[in-house]
């Protein structure tokens, strides 16, 4: 490892060690509130059967390790003050923010609220297009649109209990959004001279959604997180075909 | 039953199973789906056996066993595919394989890595079967020597060894990762008194964190973020080479294979501990006994062979207590116990009396399953390795979607997905700071076992720590733990220097 990288690592070690020390102290503090030698649920506790024993033990060792890491990091940084610190590029940071936004938006906002097939398609299309096109302008656009929509969905999910009709309406809205995104980014792709990549993104997102959802829902009988206007119709179609096959 | 009649039953079972085309079809199909199950992050051997059990209800016992064991063997092996190709272990059992498998794939030798893995898995399974037949009662008796004291120390040993082996920077970081895993494992109601710990009044945390979302979050999310953030490609496709393993490499590794098989069988035979820890212990043993330990972690075939032989040898080992005592040796074996009972078979000491040929029949089925796994593996490896030619920005979003589905599928709980993302982001930062991720996952897996057994042990001894140094297996484990700790401290170097100086002085006199 280069000295420039090592100094960055040791500085990060110091920050991590401080977090570890704080967390282990909090853990010990919280564990102290667990029944130690008093009675719980009618049972007289001894220290060696207490639910606090293991967490206190782990947190104490973690605390020692944290302190050791802190001293090691401090000693290294003090001894190598002259080495300059290299920072990650701005573009790389943006890509990181976009990745976290895409994954957390999908999990925290789309999956609990929108039909899984629609969520999957939209997520895959925007995710693939943003990184396959490798255009910072397009990535910024995706970040802004996806984060805004995900935040709206999150607020909606947290603040209101939606009826079935409301959920269906939301699914239709999401489907319209997906179609709009496909159309909107088609123009962008043409302008950026990456129309083939746009086509690949649409195709991959569609094929994966059409393969994965039926395999999990119909093949492995795993219920999908949210089943709305697409998945419900797919399940209905399965039983309709089965009944027709059996001649009912 | 004497040896001749055992061979007679064995041959008879093989002939009768192979004479039915349906059985062969089920064998190949179950093994194939097992590999796919193992290869998809989040879908485990346990889940596969559970899902298949209901489908086997109408089958006769032997056909049902072909399907269940075929899937079990295939799933344990299948976990190595994503480990080698994209550095995301399909199952926790294949986590150690990623350490050398992925670097080998990055060097353009993904085919070689998969070939070695496939054959090592076959050899491991066959060795496990051999011991299952020859030494089942003896191994089961040995495994029962393990009490709460030893279980606690074994869990500690597993975390310590994976922390020590996987640290590319300071060793303390591996231990910290393991401790973080143990700390995460304390979330939820405690196993003895049902007291809620660190649940913050959230009902979803009462049951604690499930292993699968932690595994997927800790391995999958950092890999996706890292590759796309830094515009890295997947493993190289050039110099793809042959998939058939070089027999010379396997012959050179005969000691490694034998040792890893024995470790796998031994660990598999201990109830409650499975393939996850066997791979790590065996990898550690291979590294410590290697003439060039510095090459481990950079694409060393010895490492891949060690972990894959051990985790598949675990299958035979896990079946020993299952069939002879009725105690499952690993989580998928526990699921298998349920399936056997569904078919009217109650494993235990009486099975040898009631149905003397049953153990031999299972052995014959396992041999068929491992051969089917090898053929399927050799066929699939050629196809699966082509994923490396797919550009990362197309492939990794699909992997992310599979991670989401995999985390959700086992518990059908959206909360698991939230945990997956949180753990994934934390694991990404930890990985950036050169903390190994595997000890964290091993900590989450072994944490409940360590917690429960420590308290049980102390309950038995009424708070006394003396039994830890009075029991032979316990003393052995304590010594190994102490040796690992001492060997990684500055004190070790001082002791070494002191020893060599005194030796030199004595020699000069």
Query: Residue A29's pLDDT is what?
Result: 94
A237 to chain B, closest Cα gap in Å = 22
Task: Please report the pLDDT score of residue B235 as a whole number.
Answer: 53
Would you say residue B162 has pLDDT above 80?
Answer: no
Q: Helical H runs in B292-413?
A: 301-325, 331-342, 351-354, 358-384, 392-411
Q: Residue B96 pLDDT > 80, yes or no?
A: yes
* Contact flag A225-B414 (C-beta cutoff 8 Å): yes
Q: Note the pLDDT tens digit of each residue in B41-80.
A: 656 677 677 767 767 777 888 888 899 889 988 888 888 8
B197 at the A interface (CB within 8 A)?
A: yes
Minimum distance, in Å, between the CA of residue B128 and any CA atom of chain A = 30
Who among A43, A53, A208 is closest to B455 (CB)? Answer: A53
Is the pLDDT reported for residue B1 higher than 60?
no
Does residue B473 or residue B500 have the better pLDDT?
B473
pLDDT-derived band at B143 (thresholds 50, 70, 90) equals low
Interchain CB contact of B496 with A (< 8 Å): no
Nearest-by-Cβ selection for B170 from A47, A72, A106: A72
- The reply to whether B490 falls in a domain is no
Domain extent listing, chain A: 3-79, 90-246
Q: What is the band of A116 on the pLDDT scale with cuts at 50, 70, 90?
A: very high
**Across B473-482, average pLDDT:** 86
Mean pLDDT of chain A: 89
Concatenated DSSP letters of A114-180: S-HHHHHHHHHHHHHHHHHH--HHHHHHHHHHHHHHHHHHHHHHHH----HHHHHHHHHHHHHHHHH
Which residues contact residue A142 at a Cβ distance below 8 angstroms, ignoring those fewer than 6 apart?
A: A98, A102, A126, A129, A130
pLDDT at B232 exceeding the cut of 80:
no
Helix B21-39 and helix B3-18: axis angle, to 10°?
A: 90
pLDDT at residue B97 in the model: 87
Task: Nearest chain B residue to A221 by CA: give it.
Answer: B51
Does A174 have pLDDT greater than 90? yes
B491, two tokens? 């004190």
- Compute the count of residue pairs across chains A and B with CB atoms less than 8 Å apart: 159
Quote the CA–CA distance of B284 and B278 in Å, as a whole number: 10
Tell me, what's the pLDDT at A43? 66
Among A8, A79, A24, A13, residue whose Cα is nearest residue B170: A13
Distance between CA atoms of residues B143 and B351, nearest Å = 19
B268-282, B425-439, B444-458: range with lowest mean pLDDT: B268-282
Please report the pLDDT score of residue A58 as a whole number.
94
Neighboring chain B residues of A222 at a CB cutoff of 8 Å: 405, 408-409, 412
Task: Report yes or no on B458 lying in a domain.
Answer: yes
Range from A204-208, B215-219, B278-282 that averages highest in pLDDT: A204-208
Query: For chain A, how many residues are written?
Result: 248
Q: Is residue B399 part of a domain?
A: no
Stated as kind and residue range, the H or E segment containing B464 is none
In the predicted model, what is the mean pLDDT of residues A61-67? 95
B55 touches chain A (CB under 8 A): no
| Residue given tokens 């070689």 in the structure block | B112
Question: Three-state DSSP class for A192?
Answer: coil
Q: How far apart are the first and last CA of chain A?
A: 70
Domain presence at residue B137: yes
pLDDT of residue B41: 66
For residue B238, the model assigns a pLDDT of 47
Closest-CA residue in chain B for A44?
B193
Which of B84-88, B282-286, B496-500 bottoms out in mean pLDDT, i.e. has the lowest?
B496-500
* B51 touches A: beta carbon within 8 Å: yes
Range of the domain at B217: 9-391+429-470
Please tell me the predicted confidence (pLDDT) of residue B2.
64
Q: What is the pLDDT of residue B272?
A: 59
Percent with pLDDT over 90 in chain B:
11
Phi/psi zone of residue B36: left (φ > 0), alpha (ψ -120 to 50 degrees), beta?
Answer: alpha
- Is pLDDT above 50 for A124? yes
Search chain B and give the residue with CA nearest A56. Answer: B183
Percent of chain B past pLDDT 70, that is, above it, reads: 89
Q: Is the ipTM of this complex over 0.95?
A: no
Find the residue in A nearest to B51 (Cα): A220
What's the average model confidence in pLDDT over B167-184? 89
Tokens of A166: 């409301």
Whether B491 is covered by a domain: the verdict is: no
Local confidence band at B197 (pLDDT 50, 70, 90 cut-offs): very high
**Structural domains of chain B, count:** 1
3-state secondary structure B85-132: HHCCCCCHHHHHHHHHHHHHHHCCCHHHHHHHHHHHHHHHHHHHHHHH
CA distance B414 to chain A (A): 7
């Amino acid at each position: 490892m280069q000295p420039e990288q090592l100094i960055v690592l040791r500085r990060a070690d110091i920050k991590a060690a401080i977090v570890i020390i704080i967390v282990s102290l909090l853990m010990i503090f919280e564990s102290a509130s667990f029944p130690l030698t008093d009675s719980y649920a009618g049972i007289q506790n001894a220290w060696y059967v207490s639910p606090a024993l293991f967490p206190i033990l782990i947190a104490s060792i973690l605390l020692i390790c944290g302190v050791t890491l802190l001293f090691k990091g401090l000693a290294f940084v003090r001894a190598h003050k002259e080495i300059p610190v290299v920072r990650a590029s701005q573009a790389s940071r943006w890509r990181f923010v976009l990745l976290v936004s895409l994954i957390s938006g999908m999990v925290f906002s789309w999956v609990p609220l929108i039909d899984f097939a629609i969520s999957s398609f939209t997520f895959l299309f925007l995710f693939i297009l943003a990184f396959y096109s490798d255009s910072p302008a397009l990535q910024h656009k995706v970040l802004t649109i996806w984060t805004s929509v995900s935040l709206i969905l999150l607020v909606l999910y947290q603040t209101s209990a939606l009826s079935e009709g409301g959920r269906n309406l939301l699914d239709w809205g999401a489907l319209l959004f997906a179609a709009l995104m496909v159309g909107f980014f088609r123009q962008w792709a043409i302008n950026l001279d990456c129309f083939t990549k746009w086509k690949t993104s649409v195709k991959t997102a569609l094929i994966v959604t059409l393969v994965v959802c039926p395999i999990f829902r119909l093949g492995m009988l795993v219920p999908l997180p949210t089943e709305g206007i697409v998945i419900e119709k797919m399940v209905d179609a399965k039983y309709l075909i089965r009944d027709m096959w059996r001649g009912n | 039953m004497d040896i001749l009649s055992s061979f007679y039953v064995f041959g008879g079972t093989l002939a009768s199973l192979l004479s039915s085309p349906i059985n062969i079809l089920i064998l190949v199909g179950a093994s194939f789906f097992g590999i796919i199950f193992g290869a998809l992050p989040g879908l485990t051997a346990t889940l596969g056996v559970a899902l298949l059990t209901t489908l086997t209800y109408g089958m006769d016992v032997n056909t049902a066993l072909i399907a269940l064991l075929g899937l079990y063997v295939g799933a344990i092996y299948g976990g190595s595919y994503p480990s080698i190709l994209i550095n995301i272990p399909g199952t926790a059992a294949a986590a150690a394989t990623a350490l050398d498998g992925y670097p080998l794939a990055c060097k353009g030798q993904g085919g070689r890595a998969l070939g070695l893995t496939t054959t090592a898995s076959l050899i491991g399974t066959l060795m496990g079967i051999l011991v299952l037949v020859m030494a089942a009662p003896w191994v089961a008796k040995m495994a029962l020597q393990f009490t709460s004291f030893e279980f606690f120390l074994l869990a500690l040993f597993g975390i310590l060894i994976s922390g020590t082996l996987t640290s590319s920077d300071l060793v303390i970081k591996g231990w910290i990762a393991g401790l973080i895993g143990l700390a995460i494992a304390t979330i939820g109601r405690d196993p003895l008194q049902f007291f809620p710990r660190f649940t913050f009044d959230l009902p979803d945390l009462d049951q604690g964190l499930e292993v699968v979302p932690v595994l997927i979050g800790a391995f999958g999310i950092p890999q996706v973020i890292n590759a796309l953030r830094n515009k890295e490609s997947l493993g190289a496709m050039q110099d793809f080479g042959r998939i058939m393993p070089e027999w010379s490499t396997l012959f050179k590794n005969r000691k490694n294979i034998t040792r890893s098989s024995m470790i796998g069988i031994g660990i598999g035979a201990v109830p409650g501990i499975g393939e996850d820890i066997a791979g790590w212990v065996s990898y550690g043993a291979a590294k410590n006994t290697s003439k060039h330990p510095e090459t481990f972690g950079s694409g060393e075939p010895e490492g891949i062979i060690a972990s894959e032989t051990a985790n598949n040898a675990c299958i035979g080992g896990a079946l020993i207590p299952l069939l002879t005592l009725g105690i499952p040796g690993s989580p998928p074996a526990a699921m298998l116990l349920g399936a056997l009972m569904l078919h009217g078979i109650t494993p235990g000491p009486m099975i040898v009396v009631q149905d003397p040929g049953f153990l031999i029949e299972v052995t014959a089925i396992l041999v068929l399953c491992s051969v089917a796994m090898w053929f399927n593996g050799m066929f699939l490896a050629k196809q699966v390795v082509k994923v490396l030619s797919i550009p990362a920005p197309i492939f990794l979003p699909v992997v992310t979607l599979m991670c989401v589905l995999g985390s959700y599928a086992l518990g059908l709980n959206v909360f698991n997905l939230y945990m997956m993302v949180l753990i994934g982001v934390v694991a990404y930062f930890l990985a950036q700071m050169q903390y190994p991720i595997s000890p964290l996952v091993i900590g989450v897996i072994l944490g409940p076992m360590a917690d429960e057994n420590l308290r049980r042990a102390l309950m038995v001894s009424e708070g006394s720590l003396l039994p830890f140094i009075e029991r032979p297996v316990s003393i052995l484990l304590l010594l190994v733990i102490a040796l690992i700790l001492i060997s990684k401290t500055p004190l070790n170097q001082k002791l070494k220097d002191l020893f060599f100086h005194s030796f030199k002085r004595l020699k000069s006199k």
